[in-house]
Structure 1
Amino acid sequence: MAENIDYSEDSIRSLDWKEHIRLRPGMYIGKLGDGSAYDDGIYVLLKEIVDNSIDEFVMGAGRTIDINLSDHKVTVRDYGRGIPLGKVIDCVSKINTGGKYDSKAFQKSVGLNGVGTKAVNALSTSFTVQSYRDGKTKIAEFEKGEIIRDEPEKETTQRNGTSINFFPDDSIFRHYRFIPEFVENMIWNYVFLNSGLTINFNGQKYFSEKGLHDLLQRNTDAETNRYPIIHLKGEDIEIAMTHGQQYGEEYYSFVNGQHTTQGGTHQAAFREAVVKTIREFYKKEFDASDVRASIVAAVAIKVQEPVFESQTKTKLGSQNIGPDGPSVRGFINDFVKKALDDYLHKHPEAADAMLKRILQSERERKDIAGIKKLANERAKKASLHNRKLRDCKIHFEDNHERKQDTTLFITEGDSASGSITKSRDVMTQAVFSLKGKPLNCFGLTKKVVYENEEFNLLQHALNIEDGLDALRYNNIVIATDADVDGMHIRLLLMTFFLQFFPDLVKAGHVSILQTPLFRVRNKKETIYCYSEEEKRAAVNKLGSKPEITRFKGLGEISPDEFGLFIGKDIRLDPVILSKEQSIKSLLEYYMGKNTPDRQQHIIGNLRVELDIIEEEKPVLAEAV
């Protein structure tokens, strides 16, 4: 019989705003993380603050924003109108307090609910806000949402605007670090979407003249684009597009300046409109996949009172442009139909190059149709008893609050996959086991994805055959041994993803699992070390004669220990593509056959065993 639990008025508890945010941070900023993924919470905190400054710029107040990151401190200074001095404290500490509820003042703002800045305040160990307005200034300081300093207004000679600095709470964002590339990408998106805006980030200036044209220029290889970037602008809409040589489709979509990384109604409408317009222009019913194959496009729209599918605003749910406006689908379709059709008529060279790319995609699709059908039938049968995949219960395409945590670990061999399988979170963590070293697919066509059983099963496990719309895991983590063979498998897997699914990497879904190299312990304490430096520090901390274990492979780590490394303290190294280097040249260098540049790099960086032993002597002496 179940225990009779008292349920009365005393059982009901009301949390104040900061307690609720700190108790359920995921409701406000998505997943927490340590900064190793582009959508981790620390970047959402930064974005919530910058969004307010962007809204000031959109309203015509302030053309410059200064952002500084140093260690764990963030400072954002804009030159807008400044928060009204009498409301400085309320605006950062009272839910549903803000200046964006009047649609006349902020008709197409992202931050409409008055929560963002309060979430940053509650989730920071230190949060300081200072407003400069008409020769006077007001400053207030908080700790974890609690006000600790409230200074009276005083005179100032500073320009109007608002300055906020904060330290994310390391008890919530454990071992966090800001990765400059992620912050830089965020800043570039801001300036691409706001022509005339200058952002100074750690002393470097970011500015864009051509908006989404510049975005595509930065994110594509001009040598492989089949025709010059098409750039079209209208009222409340801007698009840019081209076709390249890569496999798959790649989209950058935005709503009111918000990067909707998971797309939404506007991105779906754009994909549909492009196919419809191109079919009508060429008067041929092309297969939609042939039209969109190798497309790279950016679409930005402005919507009044947008509806997003979560607080982190990564997917648009709005069906209409505004309360009394047209549907998103109709609005985008009408614009693309007219603007793209006009462009293709006026630029026959681009139209001819586009047609050739579509016909090439059609030939490639038909060429692999037979093997694709057989491979998919095999994969369908294998999925019923697929020994390679130990699946989880929640997936990225599910409407679930934990979908951001969904992870697929790709492991080598049965021993490593066994340890992870036993220690994983069965709700959100899945395991795909490789039987050995995968094929080096550099220079091969997509036909190999279907001919190679392991690649085909991996493609089906991820559900990315037709793009990322139905991706089953937010995080694809390569979990291999930290030895030569493990490093080689990493390279082979990254070659597979970059060759055939580059959008998966560019969207920040692929990373490398860090696992400890050493365990240093005495009778009182155990320290896991991920580098030689951490090992030295651990030896110094634990004193004389600690026990030092070198992990040679993941299979040596017990399931109980492994649980420590793939849980809340997981350490991931994201796979980040440099914007200055093309995928083709990158793969040629690392995976091509006997390239001279790679030979010279290896010769110039050889280390003999004696050098390594000499480095180890001080540590070994301390241990003894």
Structure 2
Amino acid sequence: MAKKSQEYGNDSIQSLKGADRVRKRPGVIFGSDGIEGCEHSIFEILSNSIDEAREGHGDRIVITKYADHSVEVEDFGRGIPVDYNNNEKKYNWELVFCELYAGGKYRTNEGESYEFSLGLNGLGLCATQYASEYMDVEIFRDGFQYNLRFEKGENVGGLQKQEVKKKRTGTRIRWKPDLDVFTDVDVPDEYYTEILKRQAVVNAGLRFVLRIQNGGGFDEQEFLYEEGIVDYVKEIAQDTFLTPIQNWSGERKGRDRQDKPEYKVKLQVACCFSNRVKLIEYYHNSSHLEHGGSPERAVKQAFVSQIDAYLKQTGKYLKNESKISFVDVEECLILVSSSFSTQTSYENQTKKAITNKFIYECMTEFLKHQLEIYFIENPDDAAKVAEQVLINKRSRENAEKTRLNIKKKLAGTIDLANRVQKFVDCRTRDTSRREIYIVEGDSALGSCKMGRDAEFQAIIPVRGKILNCLKAEYGKIFKNDIITDIIKVLGCGVEVKSKANKDLASFDLEGLRWNKIVICTDADVDGFQIRTLILTMLYTLTPTLIEQGYVFIAESPLYEINSKGETYFAYTEAEKAAILEKIGKNKYSIQRSKGLGENEPDMMWLTTMNPETRRLIKVTPDDAKATSEMFDLLLGENLPGRKEFIAQNGYLYLDAADVS
């Protein structure tokens, strides 16, 4: 009987109050209750200090990461106002630290501070305080030192105020993110180094000092870009300049809609072209826009429009050639955009993208104008840019043609018998039963064909030793008929790890036509090498098949032992010894097992193909990794490693070596 649900009536509705508004729903404010949310809470405190410095109050910010996961941010700005507020009839510390949507950044149109601010919603400081195990605040301003302490969102001891003779001003906040709020508070060092470097890039001349507690002391690192994004672009490009760095800046006023208030936008873009390095980053009000939004749309529109117009004007397009796309431009573009606005529409509180219509419109117009002038005044640079973009475009189109041709070559219907040489299909179309045997040579094909169960077992022979996929380029691999035939028969396409050849990837596990892929070779040196090369191919081109457990090795017997009309098969030396011990003093004959091609069909069925009596070894991911490492050592480019392996282990294989 179903359990009766709790009654849902008027008294069921409740609202969260005080610190619970954040502590019980941190994801709403910080985007996540995991490590990303914890990181964002840290940035909220840091952003307030950055806003102060950008308004001209302080040129240094010190961030300390303690071993117990607590964090401290110290700035040398004016200090947060925390005394009594006559307008609100409350202390400012209550507004700033205990009220969501309270702060000093709302009245920008009336001449208040923070014209261009990273934090405008009045959420960050209060929300981080609510999400902390504790928070200690020390503020210097107006000749006084103010101290506050909070524990789990509640103030402890009120505001402590004392007069000081020092003239220093600024704010120091130390807090510990609460594990009762976040599932993880162990913020990695890399987060701090990345975020501080980004902030140094977009805040020219502002010095960030990172201190990380290490044992009894602190490791220190500084981040400073005197010329901001220009120095950053120079650092990225290094000596790969195709064109000199351009630094464009301007201001605009406008509105997102006619009935919306007018606001101000500051734009700065530093960029250059390179044929070896690419990077595009967008920042708004100092925040890195991971997902771009309006600035990204503007850059794409402006650069494609102006470069396309130049190509048309100069007749550089071939007859009937298609238009360039932004993919072709970004392949050779290094660009950093840093914009500010007095009003900003973020996609959400985490500030990963902005949506302002006017920012998109004014930035598009601004960039088109700057590019047009740049191309007119620098015809040599314009020609270099146009040539490189066309090279990128044509390379992309050729790669796409190659990918489609290869995909077409590797794809196929179930009826493959006439399209893949000597492939022998099975009757069933039920992929949960179908097995494909990859066998060694035409002779093995014959015996396997006659010995198999044609209902569910298919066969494809490998003619000779296939290409070593560890050493070959993808282009050469896909010209190899043996490899392309196997891939056609498998039906699932290929996985390409190389970024340079990612367009060749066509893997789709749904297209796999088999439940088992069985590698079947002789139990000799040549057979082992062919098996190794087939495994290498599968590991290189279709590793998911190994990871998902579709690949098997058919173990062939080493010895055939006959005694008193019984036939025994030994797959190892140990099994041979055990069989001989079992036979005892009875007469017997023993011989090395024949090659697959020499076996009678009944023998092939019994030893290799009958699901009841065969031995299949499933190739596991761990096997594949170890095998790959050994492949790389024995067949790859590591010549010194191979020599060392042979020197240390070669004696183990002397008996099997053909040195006669």
**TM-score (ref. length: structure 2):** 0.56
- Cα deviation, 1:402-431, whole Å, max 9, x if unaligned, reads xxxxxxxxxxxxxxxxxxxxxxxxxxxxxx
For residue 55 of structure 1, the aligned residue among 44, 51, 54 is 51
Instruction: Answer yes or no: is the 8 Å Cα contact 2:241–2:273 preserved in 1.
Output: yes
Over 3 Å counting, the alpha-carbon distance change for 1:222 and 1:352 in structure 2 is farther
Give 1:352's aligned residue. Answer: 383
Given that 1:88 and 1:129 are in contact with CA atoms closer than 8 Å, whether structure 2 keeps it comes out as no
The answer as to 2:304 corresponding to 1:264 is: no
Q: Identify the residue that residue 287 of structure 1 maps to in structure 2.
A: 324
What residue in structure 2 maps to residue 6 of structure 1?
A: 7
2:223 is the alignment partner of 1:206? yes
Structure 2 alignment gaps of length 5 or more? 84-91, 212-219, 252-265, 318-322, 414-430, 432-491, 512-535, 545-618, 624-632, 650-660
In the alignment, structure 1 residue 242 sits paired with structure 2 residue 275? no
Higher gyration radius (CA):
2
Displacement of 1:18:
1.4
- 2:105 corresponding residue in structure 1: 100
Contact 2:324 2:390 (8 Å CA) reproduced: no
Which stretch shows the higher mean deviation, 365-374 or 46-55?
365-374
CA contact (8 A) 2:308 2:324 kept: no
Q: Which amino acid aligns with 2:224?
A: F
- Cα gap change, 1:88/1:379 in structure 2, threshold over 3 Å: closer, same or farther? farther
How far did 1:378 drift?
A: 10
Cα offset for 1:343?
A: 2.6
Mapped contact 2:495–2:505 kept (Cα < 8 A):
no
Identify if the C-alpha distance between structure 1 residues 342 and 124 changes in structure 2 by more than 3 Å, giving closer, same or farther: same
Cα–Cα, structure 1 residues 166 and 244, in superposed 2: closer, same or farther, change >3 Å? same
Contact between 2:77 and 2:171, CA under 8 Å: does it hold in 1?
Answer: yes
Question: Structure 1 CA distance, aligned partners of 2:55 and 2:504?
Answer: 55
User: Which residues in structure 2 correspond to 1:88-237 (within 5 Å)?
Assistant: 88-103=93-108, 104=111, 105-156=113-164, 157=166, 159-202=168-211, 203-218=220-235, 220-235=236-251, 236-237=266-267
> Which residue is equivalent to 2:367?
336
The 8 Å contact of residues 449 and 455 in structure 1, kept in 2 or not, is answered as no
| Alpha-carbon distance, 1:437 to partner | 11
Is 1:441 paired with 2:529?
Answer: no
- 1:595 deviates by 6.9
Q: 1:80 aligns with which of 56, 65, 77?
A: 77
Q: Could you say what secondary structure the match of 1:302 adopts?
A: strand
Deviations 1:449-486 (A, max 9, x none): 3434339999xxxxxxxxxxxxxxxxxxxxxxxxxx9x
Match of 1:453 in 2: 506
Q: Which residue of 1 aligns with 2:598?
A: none
Rate the CA distance shift 1:83–1:350 in 2: closer, same or farther, 3 A: same
Structure 1 pair 378–182 and aligned structure 2 pair: CA distance change class (3 A): farther
Tell me which residue corresponds to 1:255: 284
Distance 1:344 1:155 in 2: 61
Moved more, 109-118 or 329-338: 329-338
Output one character per residue of 1:334-355: Cα deviation in whole Å (capped at 9) or x when no partner: 2112222323333344323212
Q: Which residue of 2 aligns with 1:43?
A: 39
Partner SS for 1:356: helix
Amino acid corresponding to residue 64 of structure 1 in structure 2: R
Aligned to 1:17: 18
User: What does 1:604-619 correspond to in 2, within 5 Å?
Assistant: none
Q: Distance in 1 between matches of 2:177 and 2:229?
A: 32
Give the equivalent residue in structure 2 for 1:299: 337
Distance (Å, rounded) in 1 between the aligned partners of 2:230 and 2:57? 25
Paired residue secondary structure (1:16) = coil
Please give the per-residue CA displacement for 1:512-539, whole angstroms capped at 9, x wherever unaligned: xxxxxxxxxxxxxxxxxxxxxxxxxxxx
Unaligned ranges ≥5, structure 1: 35-39, 320-326, 388-434, 459-484, 494-551, 557-589, 609-624
Cα distance change of structure 1 residues 210 and 270 upon mapping to structure 2, 3 Å threshold: same
Partners of 2:397 and 2:52 in 1: CA distance:
52
- SS of corresponding position for 1:242: strand
Specify the alignment match of 1:611 in structure 2. none
Distance verdict in 2 for CA 1:379–1:296, change over 3 Å: farther
SS in 2 for 1:307: coil
Deviations 1:225-282 (A, max 9, x none): 43333332223111122344469x7421111111110110121111111111222334
User: Structure 1 residue 276 and structure 2 residue 305: aligned?
Assistant: yes
Higher mean C-alpha deviation, range 286-295 or range 189-198:
286-295
State the distance in 1 between where 2:101 and 2:389 align: 50
Contact 2:493 2:506 in 1 (8 A): no
Report the alpha carbon displacement of residue 223 of structure 1 after superposing the two structures with TM: 4.2
Q: Please, what TM-score do these two structures have when normalized by structure 1?
A: 0.59
Residues 212 and 149 of structure 1, relative CA distance in 2, 3 Å threshold? same
| Alpha-carbon distance in 1 for matches of 2:62, 2:161 | 23
Q: State the Cα deviation string for residues 125-170 of structure 1 (Å, max 9, x = none).
A: 1111221102201111112211123242012326111111111112
Percent of matched pairs sharing the same residue = 24
Cα distance change of structure 1 residues 379 and 107 upon mapping to structure 2, 3 Å threshold: farther
Q: d(CA) in 1 for partners of 2:119 and 2:412?
A: 47
**1:275–1:98 Cα change, 3 Å:** same
SS at match of 1:234: strand
**Partners in 1 of 2:364 and 2:56 — Cα distance?**
30
